[in-house]
Chain A
Amino acid sequence: MLDLRTVRKHFGRLAAVAGVSLRVEAGEIVGLIGPNGSGKSTLLSTIAGAYCPDDGEILLDGQPIGGLAPDQIFARGLARSYQDPSLFFRMSALDNALLPARNQRGERARQALWRGRWWGQERANTAEAAAILHDLKLEARAQAPAADLSGGQMKLLEIGRTLMGEPRLLLLDEPTAGVAPGLAYTIFEEIERMRRLHRLTFLIVEHRLEILFDFVDRLYVMHLGQVIADGKPAEIEKNALVREVYFGE
C-alpha cells in the first residue's frame, strides 16, 4: 500500500532522512521506532506532504505522492496525527470531527450562502461524527471546546476524527505521548478496533515499546535518518544492533 524507495530529506547539511526504504501492506499495523532525533517524525511529515522529499519515491497504491500538497495526499486516502495534540482548540469537539468530511458542500463561499444546498449533507455528517464520538466515548463532550478535553481524549479525538475523511492509511506520531499508561493501552485498543472495523492500515511512531510490541505486525527501526532493522517484534527485540543504538546495551 505504502512504498518508500530511498527517500531523502535534508535540512541544510543535516540529513534528517537519509535514504529510507520501507513498505506497509494493506491492513497492517507497522511500528516505526528509533531514538530521539533519528528522523521518524520528519519521515512521517515527508510522507504526509508537510515536507517535499529531496530524493527518492513515495508511492501510495503504486501512485507517486512525493511532493504533493498535504490536502491532495489526504484526498488519496492518507491521514496523519501529530506528536502534540493538534486539534482546533477553540472549536467544539463536534466541529473538529466534522471538518475532515470529504466533498462537503458549503465549503466554498458561494455554496455557503445557501443553507439548503449543504444542510442535508451536514446533518448526515453530524450523525456520522456523533457515532464516531460515541465509539470514542466522547459523545458527552461533543459540544465542548476541544481545549477542555483531557490529554487522552484529545489524542482519541485527533485519531478518530480522521475517520470522517475515510482514510485508508493512517500515520500516527506518538499517539500515546503524554497520556496515562492505562489510557495509552486504550488508545492502542482503539487503533486495533479501527483496523478491524474500518479496514485501516497504520504506520505508527511510538516510544512506548511495551504497548507497541503488543499491537504491531512489523517494525522498522531508524537511527541517524536510516532504517537499521526491520522485522516482527520478537525479531527486533533480539536484534543486537537495535539493542545497541536504542537501548544502549
Chain B
Amino acid sequence: MILDPIGTLISLLTSFGVAAMIALSLNLEYGLGGIPNFGKALFVSIGAYTAGVTYTRLLPLLAGQAAPYPCGAGMSQALQVRTEIMRTLPAVGLTNFLMTLVIAAFIGGIVGYLASYPALRLKDEWFLGLVLLASSEVVRIVVRGAEPVICAHNGLSGLSQPFVFLPTAQLRAAAFAGMTLLAAALCYWFAQRVARSPYGRMLKAMRENSDVASGLGKPMARTRASVMVIGSAMAAVAGVFFVTNIGFASANDYVVGLTLDIWVMIVLGGLGNMRGALLGAAIITLLDRATAIAAIQANMLGSQFDFNYARYILFALILLVMLRYRRQGLLPEQLDTTGAGKFLTKLRRQDVASQKATVNRHA
C-alpha cells in the first residue's frame, strides 16, 4: 500500500490537535489539581453529542429550512439536508460549527461543575475518579439506547467538518487541520497561563493536600469546581473537533479506552507540565497511527497478528515503564510556578550588587 505522505501528515496533525486539547484538559485537572478524572471520555462525548444535536436541529434552522427527524425512516433525508447545507452554504456551516463549539463548551462546563460536587463528599479523590468512570459509562450506554441524540446504536453520520465546501479533499483536510491546531494552540496558551499563575499554585496545593490548603485560607470547593469546569469545557470542545474529523458520531467511540489513552499521554509527557501534555499527545498519536498502519499492512500481507492489539500492549508498557522509572514524565513539572523564584534570584543579585557597591565606595 502506498501512503499519501501529505494526506497522512495532515490527518496526523488533526488527530494530534484533538488529542492535545484533551491531554491539556486532563493535565490541568489531574497533573495540577490532583483530580483523577477517569471519566474524560464522557466530557469528550459531550462535544460529539452536542454536534449530533446541532447538526440535525440547529443547522437546518440557520439555513432557513425545516429540520427533519434525523433517525429512523427520515435518516437519509436528514443526512441529505445537512450535507447539502454544509456544501452549499459555507457561512451557515461555519456558524453552526462555531455555535456547536460554544454550546459544547457551555454544556461541558456545566457537567464538569456538577461532577465536582461528589468530590465535596468523597474525601478520597480516587473515589471521585471511580464515580466519573462509572458516570461516563452510564451516559454512554444511555445515549446508545436513546434515539434523539445520535440515533442510539445506529450512530449519526454527516457531521462534516466546516470546510467541506472547499474544492479538493486535501484542501478541506488542511483547512480543518489548521483550525484544529489553532484551537489546540489556544487551549495550550490558556492552560499554560493558568498553570503558571497563583491559581496554578493553588491547584498544586489542592493536589498535594487540600485539607492543609483549605486551612491556609484557600477555597478548595470553588477551586475544584472551577478546574473541572475549565477541563470539561476544553474536553467538550475537543469532542466537537474529534467527531467532525471522523464525520460520524457513535457512542461506542467514547469508551474507557479513550480515557486511558489520554492518561498515558500525560503520564508519558509529564504530569503538571503543559508542554509535556503536548509531547505525550504527539508521541501517542504517532504510535496510534503507526500501529494502525502496521495492522493494515500486516493484514494485507496475510499476517495472523493484529497490530491493533499491539497498540494496547505498547501503551500499557509505556505506562508501566514511566511509573516505574520516570514518574515525573519526559518533561517534569516546573518547580517555580509563577516566576517568583526567578524574581527572587534577581532580587538577590541586585542586593549583592548594591552591597558590593557600598563596600567599594567605603574602600
Q: Which residues of A contact B (CB under 8 A)?
A: 48-50, 69-71, 74-75, 79-80, 82, 86, 88-92, 94-95, 98-100, 102, 104-109, 111-113, 115, 118-119, 122-123, 125-127, 129-130, 142-143, 145, 161-162, 165
Contacts and interface: CB of A to CB of B under 8 A. Distances in A.
Interface residues of B, number: 38
B334 to A, nearest CB: 10
A82 B345 CA distance: 30
Contacts of B2: none
B311 interface: no
Task: Give the interface centre of B193, B197, B208 by most chain A CB atoms within 10 Å.
Answer: B197
B8 interface: no
A88 B205 contact: yes
Nearest to A76: B217
A72 to B, nearest CB: 9
Given A71-B218, A98-B201, A109 B208 contact: no
Contacts of A99: 201-202, 205, 213, 216, 218
B120 to A, nearest CB: 11
Contact of A130 (B199, B226, B347): B347
Contacts of B211: 50, 70
Contacts of A112: 193-194, 197-200
B197 A115 contact: yes
Interface string B202-221: 10110011011111111110
A95 B337 contact: yes
Interface in B305-363: 333, 335-341, 343-345, 347
A106 B199 contact: yes
Contacts of B345: 143
A98 B197 CA distance: 12
B212 A143 contact: no
Contacts, number: 133
Contact of B217 (A71, A95, A126): A71
Contacts of A143: 335-336, 341, 344-345
A123 B343 contact: yes
Given A50-B211, A112-B200, A142 B194 contact: no
B199 A100 contact: no
Contacts of B204: 88, 90-91, 95
A113 B335 contact: no
Contacts of A165: 216-217
Contact of B202 (A79, A107, A113, A130): A107
Nearest to A129: B340
A35 B316 CA distance: 50
A118 B198 contact: yes
Given A111-B197, A129-B340, 11 more contacts: A69-B214, A69-B219, A74-B216, A79-B216, A88-B212, A91-B205, A95-B201, A109-B226, A112-B200, A113-B193, A143-B335
A161 B194 CA distance: 23
Contacts of B22: none
B344 A142 contact: yes
Nearest to B208: A88
Contacts of B59: none
29 contacts: A70-B211, A70-B214, A70-B215, A71-B217, A71-B219, A74-B215, A79-B215, A79-B216, A88-B208, A90-B333, A91-B204, A92-B341, A95-B201, A95-B204, A98-B201, A107-B202, A107-B218, A109-B199, A112-B193, A112-B197, A112-B199, A112-B200, A119-B338, A119-B339, A122-B339, A125-B340, A126-B340, A142-B341, A145-B335
A70 B217 CA distance: 7
B217 A100 contact: yes
Contacts of B198: 98, 104-107, 112, 118, 122
B249 interface: no
B230 interface: yes
Interface in B205-245: 205, 208-209, 211-220, 226-227, 230
B208 A94 contact: no
Contacts of A49: 215
A189 to B, nearest CB: 24
A91 B208 contact: yes
B344 A91 contact: no
Nearest to A126: B340
A122 B340 contact: yes
Contacts of A118: 197-198
Contacts of B117: none
A88 B335 CA distance: 12
Nearest to A143: B341
Contacts of B219: 69, 71
Contacts of B347: 126-127, 130
